[in-house]
Structure 1
Amino acid sequence: MRFLPVNLDALLVELDNLDQTLALLASLQQEPIPGIEELVPAARTVLVRFRPAACSMHGLAQAMAQRDVSRLAEAGSTLIEIPVHYDGEDLAEVAGLLGISAEEVVRRHTSTEYSVAFTGFAPGFAYLAGGDPLLDVPRRSTPRTRIPAGAVGLAGRFSGVYPQASPGGWQIIGVTPAAMWDLGRAVPALLQPGFRVRFVDLATLSDAARDALVRAHAATPVAAAGSGQLADSSGPALEVVSAGLQSLFQDRGRHGQAGQGVSASGAMDQSALKSANRLVGNPSDLACIETAGGGLRLRCHGDCVVAVTGADAAVSLTSADGRAWPAAGYQALALCDGDTLCLAEPVAGARCYLAVRGGFAIAPVLGSCSTDILAQVGPPAIAAGQRLAIRPAGPLAGAVVGAEETPPQDLPSTHEEVVLDVVLGPRTDWFTPEAIALFSSQSWQVSPQSSRVGIRLQGEQALQRSVAGELPSEGTVLGAIQVPPSGQPVLFLADHPLTGGYPVIAAVASHHLDRAGQLPVNARVRFRPIGDFEPVAVMPQG
């Protein structure tokens, strides 16, 4: 094993092959190491997130180095049969690449069993290993801009099913009516790591058998329980007069869902979220409105207490009779019936957070009220005309409404260079020494093509790689700085994909993640490594 730093609370374990990866994963699941928070397996790596207060990176690496990865992981007991119409647009091309008939491709795909090795790319997308060794085909040289939900594909030795319509480069050999991802189910992802999978050709079944198999994994008609929609209420509410550029519900995120291919998401500035809640006497993990760029206007129905934190943006209030006055951020504000609150465009930072005493009456999805714009999980974006119901304030021991909260003094702006501490790794050694030096010496500008998924950075000189070829997909973390072939980095933010296939040169250090989440468009960033890159050393065994 090789142990590579990812961040101050994350480590990447690199192994020789998929069998070793699955063996280590099984070992860590059966005999957990105290302090490990989450495991994200991939083709030849396991990303390990841990609590630094419970274990050190070196101690964790030493403990994992003693695990036996030579034994094959046992197959799971759960078998999922996936019905397929084998009429994919790449079926003939795959047959030609393999030198066999299309019928033989289908026979080989259905006659052997797969297992779910790992998840990623999208919620419910599973990388299926095993199967016939002949079915080894490259990805398409030019990815399609849209592959339909249910498409069954091949890429290398893996097979997979697209859970939702998305771009992709896999070779499509068929389509299934089975729902890979359905929020109406108790566990939305049909396929979980360790499950066994067998594909079934619908053309070979009787009508009764075909109907039964299709019904077994069909989508539920309405996923009402998991929609995250606003609860109806005749009590106090905030009416959305204008939603601004992007206003979403966010809380501390949905952690622990990596097995379903879902990253944590959550507020981009966690400190601001918690401050807003504390100001109105809420538990710190309740959902707030996260709004970017200004323009949010809310009219109060009934009386309520709110607070605005995060970016430096002017707050103003207008009463029902037209009187207007400025208000302050990082203070509790009492709103009366008919009052309208307005947020201006920030002069520093990018995102504001609005909390209301009692919290918003919204239903959690997978344990969180956060909206993940990449995974399309959580409540829909807030829109003009909505009435956002407010829950009654619950008891909270020791809560003081309006307790003092200190605004941040160093919010990023476009007027001065923003410095972010970074941890080099895990793939720093994929770049030339000149590129590594350039990474921290050059200033990078935040491109307008940025979102909660990631910030595209533009530098005068691109970063050059020293290692050519394709990197197998591996787990990524919030703050990871991935470098695509263009050499212009992408800084992953809260809604980043769970896995990625471009080398990560560094990650924004944990203590600067909130600052990265407040970077405005056109800000200039400089990265400051807090140490040299080197694999984590372990003592030889025996």
Structure 2
Amino acid sequence: MVTPLPLRVLPMGESGVLIEVESLAAAIALHARLDGSRPAGVVDLVPAARTVLVRVDPARLPLAAVRSWVARTTMDAAPTAPARSSVVELDVAYDGADLAETAELLGVSADALVRAHTAAEWTVAFTGFAPGFGYLVSPEWTFDVPRLPSPRTRVPRGSVGLAAGFTGAYPRDTPGGWRLIGTTTAPLFDPDAASPVLLAPGTRVRFRASRAAAPAAETATAPRDRVETPPARGAEAAASRSPEPSIRIGEPGLLATLQDLGRAGYASLGVAGSGALDRGSLRTANRLVGNPEGAAAIEVTMGGFRAVALRDLWFAVTGAWGPIRLDGHELDPYEAYAWPAGAHLHLDWFRSGARAYLAVRGGVEAAPVLGSRSRDVLAGIGPPPLRAGDELPIGSDPVDPIPVATVAPWGAPHDDEIEVELAPGPRADWFAASALSALYEAVWTVTNDTDRVGMRLNGPALPRVRDDELPSEGMVPGALQVPPSGRPTILLADGPVTGGYPVLAVATDAALDLLAQARPGTRVRFRHARPA
């Protein structure tokens, strides 16, 4: 007999749905089924503790079609089990700072805890928190391990930890509240590998105790293939050399990073989309100098940027509004200008808006990571933030000429007060009715706790009717998370791909560019998104 699988399909903004099931095991099975039948237009499938997030390109796959696809895929109550992957074995030195204390909390010896950890066969249920950070579960693991009362500000790369019913290993130095029981030198995240994440969802894992963790190349018995490029010779070698430096950074200002249109499609591996926060301004800047819209440019936050051209170039500046000077001569934004070799460009502190985009004809060259030259400040991937003295290469001139007329009307960003449209979020039922009234009636203020990861707002507390902990679930840019304090945070391009705070609403895609230019002190009013 065929019966529908018990689930709820919840809204996640205008380009996603969150499918909630009864258990972690059901979420893993659902993710496998959806992944095996995904139609064109699905951008991401992100499994989590009780949910699977489906993100789509609405122009290719409407949300109504997504709901029909989910219904068809989940009709079979007893689906065939997904194919079992090979087992990845990780060497672990069980020398963690919390090993003895954790064993005492659980009422066992440290040796018994290690034996239980190595005896179990684990499966990566989902990833999140950081690229390559897998949440591993096992039916043989019976311990429920409490997190640390106060998270560490720095957990070293390779640390193996426990929290709740999960185990996991930290791919890079990050803050964290898991209890550390050991270390591994396994290459958990390698963006240059053919498969960048060692512990992807569905991977089976066993841990092996060792006195000292083996060298990185030897820690995993199922290593990933790297993308190898044979040495170039003759003309090929000349063509493959990096372009000569074309720009030297004098001062980066508050923050200057390389950004393009991001790296979509890797959220299930814990990698955010990243990319320019104000995508419209990036596209316009590139069009002004004849580049493809997605070429890499320099995103300058709040101004204070200086650079000198090392060869003759063309450039344009869009987005935030402030004095633009070339060798002391003031120029207008949203225009293409010649930038002669030796000339000094200065983007002074912005008067309106928060982020400007400096596009140079040919695009800024850098080694792509997962198909993008964008810097993800939370994950620490992509080209590092620019520093004084950095020299940047510029690509060859594109085919398209520099337009002879302005490509779009322009004006200073309106950052005193903005109106942001919100689409429904999945957890409105966690909040009192008064919370929705306050959300749309109050005037909110952007706080100083704002960066590429998220924007914290100050205003009235949004009361909840549920105070229990929300199991981690998929997140999207624009998600309006509400922590226990009741003051919301809007996730931006570098935000985490999973999170444990309920999402009341989601900013529309068009509103994200508007939010990118909001400065601390900007007033924000929310409005219901117009039906599509």
TM-score, normalised by the number of residues in structure 1: 0.89
Q: Quote the residue 2:42 is aligned against.
A: 36
Give the AA of the match of 1:25: H
Shift in alpha-carbon separation, 1:275–1:136, aligned structure 2, 3 A: same
CA distance in 1, matches of 2:265, 2:66: 19
Matched, 1:138 2:146: yes
Measured after TM superposition, the shift of residue 403 of structure 1 is: 4.1
2:158 to 133, 147, 150: 150
Q: How does 1:511-522 map to 2 (within 5 A)?
A: 511-522=510-521
Give the AA of the match of 2:483: P
Shift in alpha-carbon separation, 1:388–1:211, aligned structure 2, 3 A: closer
Q: Quote the residue 1:467 is aligned against.
A: 466
1:170-209 CA-to-partner distances (Å, cap 9, x unmatched) read 1222211223123443333211111110011114x9x9x9
Matched, 1:350 2:354: yes
Measured after TM superposition, the shift of residue 477 of structure 1 is: 0.5
CA distance in 2, matches of 1:264, 1:344: 29
Shift in alpha-carbon separation, 1:452–1:210, aligned structure 2, 3 A: closer
CA distance in 2, matches of 1:243, 1:84: 41
CA distance in 1, matches of 2:42, 2:530: 23
Q: How does 1:407-418 map to 2 (within 5 A)?
A: 407-409=409-411, 411-414=413-416, 417-418=417-418
Matched, 1:189 2:197: yes
CA distance in 2, matches of 1:390, 1:211: 35
Measured after TM superposition, the shift of residue 29 of structure 1 is: 1.4
CA distance in 1, matches of 2:517, 2:337: 23
Q: How does 1:482-493 map to 2 (within 5 A)?
A: 482-493=481-492
1:19 to 20, 25, 40: 25
Matched, 1:391 2:400: no
Measured after TM superposition, the shift of residue 232 of structure 1 is: 5.3
CA distance in 1, matches of 2:482, 2:216: 47
TM-score, normalised by the number of residues in structure 2: 0.90
Give the AA of the match of 1:411: P
CA distance in 2, matches of 1:148, 1:3: 38
Measured after TM superposition, the shift of residue 297 of structure 1 is: 1.5
Shift in alpha-carbon separation, 1:155–1:347, aligned structure 2, 3 A: same
Three-state SS of the structure 2 residue aligned to 1:306 is strand
CA distance in 2, matches of 1:531, 1:127: 38
Q: Quote the residue 1:105 is aligned against.
A: 113
Structure 1, unaligned stretches of length 5 or more?
226-230, 319-323, 533-542
Matched, 1:369 2:369: no
Residues 278, 403 of structure 1: 8 Å contact kept: no
Three-state SS of the structure 1 residue aligned to 2:463 is coil
| Number of corresponding residues | 511
1:269 to 273, 278, 285: 278
Residues 309, 407 of structure 1: 8 Å contact kept: no
Residues 22, 73 of structure 1: 8 Å contact kept: no
Measured after TM superposition, the shift of residue 529 of structure 1 is: 2.0
CA distance in 2, matches of 1:312, 1:110: 58
Q: How does 1:278-293 map to 2 (within 5 A)?
A: 278-293=287-302
Measured after TM superposition, the shift of residue 56 of structure 1 is: 2.6
1:327 to 313, 321, 331: 331
Three-state SS of the structure 2 residue aligned to 1:354 is strand
Q: Quote the residue 1:202 is aligned against.
A: 210
Deviates more, 1:304-313 or 1:335-344: 335-344
Shift in alpha-carbon separation, 1:383–1:15, aligned structure 2, 3 A: same
Measured after TM superposition, the shift of residue 35 of structure 1 is: 2.5
Q: Quote the residue 2:427 is aligned against.
A: 427
Q: Quote the residue 2:445 is aligned against.
A: 445
1:414-453 CA-to-partner distances (Å, cap 9, x unmatched) read 3xx2110011211111111111211111111111121111
Matched, 1:175 2:183: yes
Measured after TM superposition, the shift of residue 219 of structure 1 is: 12
Residues 178, 218 of structure 1: 8 Å contact kept: no
Structure 2, unaligned stretches of length 5 or more?
1-6, 231-240
1:238 to 226, 243, 247: 247
CA distance in 2, matches of 1:281, 1:107: 62
Residues 88, 222 of structure 2: 8 Å contact kept: no
Three-state SS of the structure 2 residue aligned to 1:65 is helix
Matched, 1:257 2:266: yes
CA RMSD of aligned residues (A): 2.6
Residues 186, 217 of structure 2: 8 Å contact kept: no
Shift in alpha-carbon separation, 1:238–1:212, aligned structure 2, 3 A: closer
Three-state SS of the structure 1 residue aligned to 2:281 is helix
CA distance in 1, matches of 2:95, 2:292: 53
Give the AA of the match of 2:277: M
Percent pairwise identity: 44
Residues 153, 176 of structure 2: 8 Å contact kept: yes
Q: Quote the residue 2:3 is aligned against.
A: none
CA distance in 2, matches of 1:26, 1:437: 39
Q: Quote the residue 1:52 is aligned against.
A: 58
Deviates more, 1:67-76 or 1:275-284: 67-76
